[in-house]
Structure 1
Amino acid sequence: MIRKANDQDKAALRDIWCAVFDDTLDYAAFVTDHCLKLGTVLYYPEGLSFLTLFPLTLHFKGKNILQGAYLYGVATHPRRQRKGFGSMLLARASEIAPFLLLYPATHDLQHFYHKRGFDVPVHIPSPVVRTNLPDRPSPHHPAAAPYTEYIADAGKQDYTFLWSPSLYDYAYRECLFRGGYVMSPWFCYPQDGNVVCKPYMNTGLTTNASYLRALVRFNITVPGFRSENALFYLPLD
């Protein structure tokens, strides 16, 4: 039976996360603790499967018009995959939120979710890979996550999907946990000897060719919504 996870499920959720994403136990504990604290975790114990719904709002020109959710960490233990448990969780999630947004990082995942009703594309400004950057902030004095800039920039756009302050703070803390840092207008992460920087606001560098694609499943009609004018910054991946 699918149910909401609680603190008694922490160990099981960590084990599933590590088995699926091959992360360290410390990172899995950090992530799942925040999932339980900040989101709704749908858990299917018999299927060794869970996902997290993080609150996400759709704004039009800076005005909140709809509250939905971001799908995070959709995970089924390898021993229980290909049995439909993930699809069952997605169906339950769709009963909870007016819209669901996620970022499928591969072509196969894009296809998987498109078949399950996630058929509205949304632009994610692409990260940039840097090899030479100015001196990063001291680890003892990390730069603050500039939420005010993030919100102010969103007010200049047509449609934006926005994190709450607590979820934005989680994105910031997760960046630091991974050894990254924030330097306006970027969240920067070490990767393969380089630094991958995600924008959290308009950088002036984005072209039509430099977008990734999030997918949305709307469970209600949003009059006037134009996906080609919609942006989503800082996907959690």
Structure 2
Amino acid sequence: MGELHELIRTERLGLIELLETLGPAEWSTPSLCGAWTVQEVAAHLAWAPVTPMAATLVALVRSGFRLNRASAEQSRTAAEAGPEAILAQLRDNARTGALPSGVPVPAGVVEAVVHGIDIRRPLGRPVTITPEVFRIAADTSVGLRWPLTVVVGGSARKRLAGLTLVAEGYDWSYGEGPEAVGSAETVLRVLNGRPVDRAELTGPGAGLLMSRL
């Protein structure tokens, strides 16, 4: 587990380095995560690991037990603290290794990497995903169970039924059937319910996969 925590820390520090360079317009840029802005995604990453379970339960009740709505409301409220407070909390999380209550450590890798993509892609600031981090994030994403699948648009296994998803250049694939091939980032977006353009996928299974996204 120590190695996983170090990988999470590295991903967090890399994102902090990026966020430190952003101007006001970039903080307000829509992310890949639903209707959230970059600032709201960053606020979620900052405070979700340190929000008491009791506060999360209250938010769930207020939202009618709709997890995505509760998370969005909490993130919008947290984002009002502003970039400097968000960055300070992100730095503290990187230092302490805090994770959201009930989230397994491998899922913490997924959260760090995928929310990083949510922020980086709309800003045109991509980053290379190391093979080690990619494999952990991809394998964990495929294995997610309810309720964690709620926040990624449902089960990746069902999304890929009858297909093989291949990460080009990463010696990673999942499933059986016609292949849909994409970059490591594209694969993680597919697995986690993020937008994907048709041109980002190749292979005989690409069209069928796109019809499910």
State the TM-score, normalized to the length of structure 2: 0.29
Q: Which has the higher contact order (CA 8 A, sep 6+)?
A: 1
Structure number with higher strand proportion: 1
Structure number with higher helix proportion: 2
